[in-house]
Chains A and B, each alone.
Chain A
Amino acid sequence: MTAHVPPARHLLRAKDLADARYFERLDVDDLARAARLSRAHFSREFRRAFGEPPHAYLLTRRLERAAALLRSTDRSVADICFSVGLQSVGSFTTSFTRTYGKSPTAYRATFPPAAQYARIPGCVLRAYGRPQRSTFREDRGPAPR
C-alpha cells in the first residue's frame, strides 16, 4: 500500500532537519531518527548520499551560521556558540579555528564592525542620538507659563 520511497528521501529528511533546527540541541541520533535508520547505518548512508558524514554536515551548518553572526552582530562569542546549538565554547573555538584558520575573535576582527551594516535611518539616528534631559541654564527659573 505504501508507495516506494527512494532511500535518499529519508536521508534528505535528516538533512532538512539539520538545516531547519541546527540551533537546537540536535545530534546525529536525532538525525538518524528523522531518517528512521539505525545510527551506524544512517551515518554510512548519509555519507554515501551527500559526500560527508552527518556530524560534519551538522557542524559545518552551525559554523557557517556562527561565522555569519560574528560578521553581522556584536554578540559575544559564547552567545553565538549557544545560539547555533553548540554547548561548549571551548569545542566551538577549536572547530571554528580548524575550519576558518582563525579563532572566532580573530575572524571577526578581519571584518568591518557589524554596526557598519546596520542601516539605521537618519530619523532614528537623529532622535536617539540627541542628548536627553540636558540641563540648560535657562531651566533653573520657574517654567514659563
Chain B
Amino acid sequence: MFQLSITQLWVHDQDEALAFYTQKLGMEVRIDVTMAEMGYFRWLTVGPVGQPDVAIVLMPIAGPPMMDDETAEQVRSLMAKGFAGAVFLTTDDCRAAYEELKARGVEFSEEPEDRPYGIDCGFRDPSGNSFRLTQVRDLSPV
C-alpha cells in the first residue's frame, strides 16, 4: 500500500550536516535546492548509496513563520539532550563499518557489542541525532 520514502532529521547547520553525512558516513546527496521565493529555504536530502528510494531530509530548525522562537528553542533543547531523532542502519559487518567510520572521524557513543539480535554500535551526528548501526543476526528458524 505504501513505502517508506523520506524521513526528516532536524539539524543545527545544513552545511555541517551535509559534510558529515556525505564525507563521513559516505551517503549521497539526493536533492539540494534553495528556494529564493521561500526565504531561501533549502531542501536538502541525502541517502545511502545503493538504496535510491530512501532519503533523509536534513531540515534546518525553522524560525518564524514556520516555528515561533519558543518552539524552535524547545526543538534545539531536545536535540541537545539527544531526544530529537534516531536512525537505525544495518550493515553486513558491524565491526568493520565501525572501524572505517571511526577512521573517518565519526565519534561513537557505543562500541560494537553483541546483542541477542546481532552486533551493534551507536554514534551521533553533529546535531545530536542518534544513530544505531546494526549487523542483524539471522533469526530465521532453522
Contact = CB atoms under 8 A, between A and B. Distances in A.
| SS class, residues of chain A in contact with chain B | helix
A127 B41 CA distance: 11
Interface in A52-105: 65, 68-69, 72-75
Contact of A23 (B23, B43, B62): B23
Interface residues of A, number: 24
Contacts of B23: 23-24
A128 B59 CA distance: 13
Interface string B63-103: 01110000000000000000000000000000000000000
B65 A127 contact: yes
B32 A132 contact: no
A74 B65 contact: no
B38 A129 contact: yes
Contacts of B35: 115, 118, 120, 128
B99 to A, nearest CB: 13
Contact of A130 (B32, B34, B65): B65
Contacts of A117: 31, 33
B50 to A, nearest CB: 10
